[in-house]
Chain A
């Protein structure tokens, strides 16, 4: 029985990809390790919330995955996009309603609210005090670490439009805006784990 066409194509592609991998000529070609034999693993996270208790696990999992050599991609959509507005921006948007939204929900990675017990900022403040006391990395530190490790952050084009966000409002490390089809394609690739946080 022959494999379906798509499967054969994929196998051919993988074989080509493996054979094209440059071999270091300066060192003997020994040490075939587990990591080089397995295909590249990928983690795709959909980050749809701008709340502290969701952005933190997103950033922690993204950092851990990138540190483990996974290709890591974070799709940021809806409220999840606001943490990726530059910290120093206070009110963004083009029209009155968009400006009102960010007036009520301050954007930026250092201004996250908690989903529970926000209490006019008391919750996040206490969370910050506890995090510092126990030396837990802040969302800003985790974001910088993720960028340094090559985590790809992909903003949702539709959300950019809805909030009236421009490229210059966003952090420098943010990739090109994409849509749902791009994310679905990534999520259905082999050796890929997907999280909806």
Chain B
């Protein structure tokens, strides 16, 4: 089952935000702007190269109520999948 299939309320669309190369606080600033264009229940995938983002995205998710559903790292690129509340 993919993340999109497990999505209970959204339209199933996944938006990707490329925030690679950006430094604090721009990854979460861009994420906050991008999630406005995501429907409730849909997923936003964020790619970043900022190691500080690991703690920051967890805090952002807790504070805003948008669920952090997946988090992976590969070749220095951190990938966060967020579901808009």
In the assembled complex, 22 residue pairs joining A and B whose CB atoms fall closer than 8 Å, in A order, are A31-B85, A33-B65, A34-B62, A63-B25, A64-B28, A66-B29, A66-B32, A67-B25, A67-B28, A67-B60, A68-B28, A68-B59, A68-B64, A69-B63, A69-B64, A70-B63, A135-B23, A137-B26, A145-B29, A149-B29, A149-B32, A149-B33
B contact face: mostly helix, strand, loop, or mixed:
helix
Let me know if B25 and A60 touch, CB within 8 A. Answer: yes
Let me know if B32 and A135 touch, CB within 8 A. Answer: no
Residues of B within 8 A of A (CB): 9, 21-26, 28-29, 31-33, 40, 56, 59-60, 62-65, 85
Residues of A within 8 A of B (CB): 27, 31, 33-36, 41, 60, 63-64, 66-70, 134-137, 145, 148-149
Closest A-B pairs by Cβ, 6 of them: A35-B65, A33-B65, A67-B32, A64-B25, A68-B63, A67-B28
B25: chain A residues within 8 A (beta carbon): 60, 63-64, 67
Q: How far is the CB of A47 from chain B (nearest CB, A)?
A: 16
Q: Which of B9, B26, B56, B64 has the most C-beta atoms of chain A within 10 angstroms of its own C-beta?
A: B26
Let me know if A145 and B26 touch, CB within 8 A. Answer: yes
